[in-house]
Amino acid sequence: MNNSLLRYQLFEVGQENIVSDMVWEVFSEFEAPYYSAEGVNTFKEFIHPQRLVSQIISNDFKIYCCFEGNDLVGVLAFRNTSHISLLFVKKSHQRIGIAKELLRIATMELLKIDPDLQELTVNSSPYAVIIYEKLGFNATNTMQEKHGLKYKPMKKCLR
């Protein structure tokens, strides 16, 4: 795996199916075991391609993608310029810095939009807590559950 072959870019309309499919693939392997059928269905609805597009169009969402050639290997989505809604990297591309680079690129862009941005937040799945800790996030509360999705609220101070 050669990091110089990786290309980072903002999501473009037309990529919604590959984003949804890749996120679902990773979620199914690493996240779904932690959730009830309700949680799995809630998540599947959240990443439905048309829902992703409508959130992008309404400016509620920004999605950053990492490609190796034409293959989507990483996705980071922000809601309301400061809350991470999705962070997924294909199994074959984990542990090589893609999540870190997606977060770095997104943070630089978000600070251009809002120079006063103080922190980033995320509701981390049980599986991803350690990943977010490595990215500089700290828990702000205990594990919670809503609509069948378990999560731990976390934040990262930018200043």
- Confidence at 1, pLDDT banded by 50, 70, 90: low
pTM of the model: 0.94
Tokens representing 137? 């996030």
Neighbour-count burial of 19, counting CB atoms closer than 10 A to its CB (0-12 exposed, 13-18 middle, 19+ buried): buried
Residue 116 in this model has a pLDDT that exceeds 90: yes
In this predicted model, what pLDDT tens digit does every residue of 33-63 receive, in sequence order?
989 999 999 999 999 999 999 999 888 799 9
Residue 3 in this model has a pLDDT that exceeds 80: no
Between the two ends of the chain, the Cα-to-Cα distance in Å is: 34
Q: Measured at the alpha carbon of residue 18, what is the angle toward residues 156 and 24, in degrees to the nearest 5?
A: 60
pLDDT of residue 142: 98
- Provide the residue type at 151 as one letter: Y
- What domains are defined for the chain? 3-114 (3.40.630.30)
pLDDT of residue 159: 83
Alpha carbon distance 93, 73 (integer Å): 7
Tell me which residue of 66, 61, 64, 42 sits closest to 146, measured CA to CA.
42
pLDDT of residue 21: 98
pLDDT of residue 59: 80
